[in-house]
Amino acid sequence: MDVFFSSYGFLLAMVVQQALLGLSVYYPLLAGQLSLASIGFYSLGGYVAAIMGTHPALAALRESLGFWMFPLEWLCALVLSIILGLAVGLPVLRLRGIYLALATIAFAQVVNVTVLNMPIAGGAVGIFAIPQAFDSRLAYLFFFGPLLVLALAVAFRLERIGPGRVILSIREDELAAAAMGVPTTYYKVLPFVWGCALAGVTGAMSAPFLNTWNARQGTFDASVACLAYVLIGGARSPWGPVFGAALLVSLPEVLRPLRDSRMILNGVVLVLACVYLPRGIVGAFSSLSRRMRGVKEAAS
Amino acid sequence: MRRTLFAVLCLLLAVPALAEPVKSPIPIGIAVAQTSNVALFGEEQVNGAKIAEKYFNGQGGVNGTPIVLVFQDTAGDEAGAVNAFQNLINRDNVVAIVGPTLSQQAFAADPLADKAGVPVVGPSNTAKGIPQIGPFVGRISAPMTQVAPHSVSEALRINPKIKKVAVLYAQNDAFSSSETTTFQQAVKDLGLEIATLQKFQTTDTDFTTQVTAVLGEDVGLVIISGLAADSGNLVKQLRQLGYQGLIVGGNGLNSPNMFPVCGALCEGIMVAQAYSSSTVDANPVNKAFVEAFTAAYKKAPAQFSAQSFTAVQVVVEALRKAEKDSGKKITAMDLAAARAELNKALRTGSYLTPVGEISITPEGEVDQKSFYVSKVKMNSDGKTGEFVLVTQ
């Protein structure tokens, strides 16, 4: 058990961390908006935490705050993400479909190029020797865990309350929703900003978790990975991104004993999941359980 | 559920690590990128390390005990490096880790090994700040700031009349834009003047603007930091438009991939290298390495292979030294003690390796005695060529 946690502690925490990123893509999808901007906010949040954790000018503040420095970093990342999320979301969400996706990819690229050229962000090497909150990687679950619970709770609650239903109505048919008098821009920006904020705070928590932060955290590959968590896991339930992240993050590690062939098997599993589980893992489970219930009811 | 998790966590922190003996053969971890887009380098490192394993076991390993290399793929990202390190430290119980491939990965994974008391030898981490991560972190790859200036001083030796220099770099490439600052510093340190500083993109194919600016300044030396394809085109257009002075290239031009681009006009480009496969006459270890490598892979070894061989060699020789110093077999030691002894031994004495004589300072930084400046020599077909050693 000891060996299990010491070798897989990082992986367990990372599953939760990536699930949060998956959820940050899931929120805008609730309103039918495909946004790949999350990774840009994740990268920004990480830089906020990395700079606040290492910049010599803030040494006195760190000294006096101690552990409370970490929540302060999250707060700064949160505020920055919300402001930037609004600034990006308001004009960009006037676009639809593929154009929206392209604009959000462009945003992530802009963030990447900007930080690469900012001396304070350490250039290509990035920022390293970020102060640690915990010794064990597994203990970072104390950061990511509560945030995941909060994000899931909000997602489930949204399905039951008025504003949530309005958001879902935009996903089903934006024109019809607008015809019913729904201010669609407002209800599209809302989940978008909430997703941005979630990604930003996750980034701020991740900088100490990874020990280092650089522009490679915010690449296009990473944003595609986040989207894949949602698509493989299932885009119709908040559990989707969580299961998707758990599968996609842990699979290469679980297959590690296979050495060179592990990436081949990893790819095969993904292809099979895409072909046979078009509604994701969670979608497949729910239709399976519905069928079982149907069988039971038919029997009684 | 969360209460159980908390209980497990507390238990985890409370249970001290049990004393574990060192396995025989002695396991040495190799954590490099065997997949992802960094695998191009990682594969070369794997090849070099495998040659080292065979070579040193042929010599009797560590005073009679054989070694075994345990490979764990880091892929190209930080998380992959951390996972590979955790596996090597906790499951494979290695005495030391050679890796990871990228400096950025080292900043993520090395602190964990340092905390666990496992010596790390970086085979290709050249960024500033790597040895300072902790007392268990060291490297055998000389930082860029040490290697690059050698080509500039060599150019000055060939043509002492050089006064003005043109510096060009690929603005959108991370390595190039940081390498150029090293070059610019070297130029200033040698008392030369940077007449013009030109930027380009790695995707550019037309360099008329930059070349015109260079030709207008009557410079005696052009320094280029870029990737193989764009730099090849730049060199070609420089020569075609009449530049006749010396050309020094950065690490991106240290690649035969450039030859088909500038063809016969590549002739004479100078690059500084941390390793040269043509030092076989003066260096018996390099001779054995080059012979074994060429026999196994049908090509001459490149810098990444030589450096991973060197990293394994340094660990093996330090293990021998640790046995001698403590008077105890490594396999008779407790794993934690063996790791600590090894880390101490790594930082004492010097090693004759394929990259020349090196030693590791107490801080963990490499002290490499000689660097190599090579010059491109093209064959008569104008498409193939090679790097010929100018000097050490």
How close is the nearest chain B Cα to the Cα of A84, in Å?
25
**Residue B4 predicted with pLDDT over 70:** no
The verdict on A65 touching B (C-beta cutoff 8 Å) is no
The verdict on B92 touching A (C-beta cutoff 8 Å) is no
Mean pLDDT over each residue of chain B, to the nearest integer: 90
Interface test with A, best of B4, B82, B93, B169 (most A CBs within 10 A): B82
Interface test with A, best of B4, B34, B105, B107 (most A CBs within 10 A): B107
CATH of the domain at A222: 1.10.3470
Chain A residues in contact with B17 by the CB 8 A cut-off are 2
Asked if residue B355 belongs to a domain, the reply is yes
**Residues B150-183: tens digit of each pLDDT:** 999 999 999 999 999 999 998 877 778 888 999 9
Nearest-by-Cβ selection for A212 from B17, B78, B178:
B78
Determine the Cα–Cα distance for residues A236 and A119; give it in Å rounded to an integer.
Answer: 42
* Mean pLDDT of the region B306-311: 96
Domain co-membership, B266 together with B297: no
The verdict on A7 touching B (C-beta cutoff 8 Å) is yes
Asked if residue B1 belongs to a domain, the reply is no
Task: Tell which residue, B370, B181, B360, B148, has the closest CA to residue B270.
Answer: B148
**Residues B310-342: tens digit of each pLDDT:** 999 999 999 999 999 999 999 999 999 999 999
B330-369 burial code (b ≥16 CB/10 A, e <16)? bbebebebbbbbbbbbbbeeebebbbbebbbeeebbbebe
Domain co-membership, B130 together with B255: no
Determine the Cα–Cα distance for residues B260 and B384; give it in Å rounded to an integer.
Answer: 7
| Alpha-carbon distances, residue A68 vs A74, A78, B63 (angstroms) | 10, 15, 53
Give the pair of three-digit tokens for residue B297.
């892979």
Domain co-membership, B25 together with B80: yes
Domain co-membership, B240 together with B379: yes
Structural domain of A28: 2-299
Give the pair of three-digit tokens for residue A37.
């901007």
**Residues B61-90: tens digit of each pLDDT:** 999 999 999 999 999 899 999 999 999 999
Domain tally for chain B?
2
Asked if residue B6 belongs to a domain, the reply is no
Domain co-membership, B380 together with B266: yes
For residue B127, give the chain A residue with the closest CA: A125
Domain co-membership, B135 together with B150: no
Give the pair of three-digit tokens for residue A111.
């963030």
- Give the count of alpha carbons within 13 A of A143, CB side only: 30
DSSP alpha helices (H): ranges in chain B? Answer: 2-14, 39-58, 78-90, 103-116, 144-147, 149-158, 174-189, 208-215, 228-240, 259-262, 284-297, 303-326, 335-346
Determine the Cα–Cα distance for residues A195 and A34; give it in Å rounded to an integer.
Answer: 12
CA B214 centroid distance within chain? 32
Domain co-membership, B236 together with B383: yes
Contact at CB, B91 and A11, closer than 8 angstroms: no
Structural domain of B328: 20-142+283-360
Q: A170: buried, middle or exposed (CB in 10 Å: 19+, 13-18, 0-12)?
A: buried
To which H or E segment does residue B348 belong?
Answer: none
Domain co-membership, B178 together with B260: yes
Give the pair of three-digit tokens for residue A21.
């990123």
pLDDT confidence tier of residue B6, bands split at 50, 70 and 90: low
Domain co-membership, B114 together with B194: no
- Give the count of alpha carbons within 13 A of A268, CB side only: 6
pLDDT confidence tier of residue B19, bands split at 50, 70 and 90: low
Determine the Cα–Cα distance for residues A115 and A122; give it in Å rounded to an integer.
Answer: 8
Give the percent of chain B with pLDDT over 90. Answer: 71
Asked if residue B10 belongs to a domain, the reply is no
Residues contacting residue B140 through CB under 8 Å, at least 6 positions apart: B121, B122, B123, B307, B310, B311, B314, B353, B355, B358, B360, B366
To which H or E segment does residue B70 belong?
Answer: strand B67-73
Asked if residue B8 belongs to a domain, the reply is no
pLDDT confidence tier of residue B50, bands split at 50, 70 and 90: very high
Interface predicted TM-score of the whole assembly (ipTM), two decimals: 0.90
* Residue type at B51 in one-letter notation: I
For residue A208, give the chain B residue with the closest CA: B108
**Residue B114 predicted with pLDDT over 90:** yes
CATH of the domain at B28: 3.40.50.2300
Domain co-membership, B191 together with B288: no
Mean pLDDT over each residue of chain A, to the nearest integer: 92
Domain co-membership, B251 together with B324: no
- The predicted pLDDT at position A294 comes to 83
Interface test with A, best of B6, B9, B133 (most A CBs within 10 A): B9
Determine the Cα–Cα distance for residues A106 and B6; give it in Å rounded to an integer.
Answer: 42
Per mean pLDDT, which of A81-85, A264-268, A270-274 is the most reliable? A81-85
The two beta strands, B350-353 and B356-360, are antiparallel
Domain tally for chain A?
1
Domain co-membership, B175 together with B75: no
Determine the Cα–Cα distance for residues B137 and B115; give it in Å rounded to an integer.
Answer: 10
- The predicted pLDDT at position B98 comes to 97
